[in-house]
């Protein structure tokens, strides 16, 4: 089974780390850097799991998540939000907009791999 993840992230070091750990586990990893066009990227070819940064150029991850949840095609898409913003209000906002799982940076490789695999199989 081909497992596809879309990583919307603008930090090259994080992109490479996540690409490495997920690819090694059999995931096809596609990346996108721009928040302004992220919704179009997701809807053009919906991944099995979306990994979404909060702070992106053009549009925040919160705005992207809100837009995706409003579309019937992506309303149930599993979304792992990665962020350096660990304040309670940020987590609450993500949950209000329908995030599936929320993880703060820094994170371990094992945490990301476990989270993405759990989301792909319907877990949290």
Q: What tokens were used for 71?
A: 């579309």
pLDDT surpasses 80 at 123: no
Average pLDDT taken over every residue of the chain: 94
The count of domains in the chain is 1
Q: Which ranges constitute the DSSP H helices of 1-124?
A: 12-24, 38-44, 61-70, 88-97, 109-120
State the CATH number of the domain containing residue 47.
3.40.50.2300
Structural domain boundaries, residue 29: 3-120
pLDDT surpasses 70 at 1: no
Q: What tokens were used for 12?
A: 């090259």
Residues contacting 112, CB < 8 A, separation 6+: 18, 21, 22, 51, 80, 82, 103
pLDDT for residue 78: 98
pLDDT for residue 21: 96
Strands 79-83 and 101-104: parallel
SS3 123: coil
């Amino acid at each position: 089974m081909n497992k596809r993840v879309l990583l919307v992230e603008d930090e090259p070091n994080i992109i490479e780390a996540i690409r490495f750990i997920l690819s090694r586990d059999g995931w096809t990893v596609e990346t996108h850097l721009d928040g302004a066009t992220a919704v179009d990227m997701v809807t053009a070819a919906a991944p099995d799991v979306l990994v979404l940064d909060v702070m992106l150029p053009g549009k925040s991850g919160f705005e992207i998540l809100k837009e995706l949840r409003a579309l019937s095609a992506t309303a149930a898409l599993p979304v792992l939000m990665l962020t350096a913003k660990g304040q309670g209000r940020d987590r609450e906002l993500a949950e209000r907009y329908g995030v599936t799982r929320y993880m703060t940076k820094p994170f371990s490789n094992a945490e990301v791999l476990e989270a993405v695999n759990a989301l792909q199989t319907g877990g949290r």
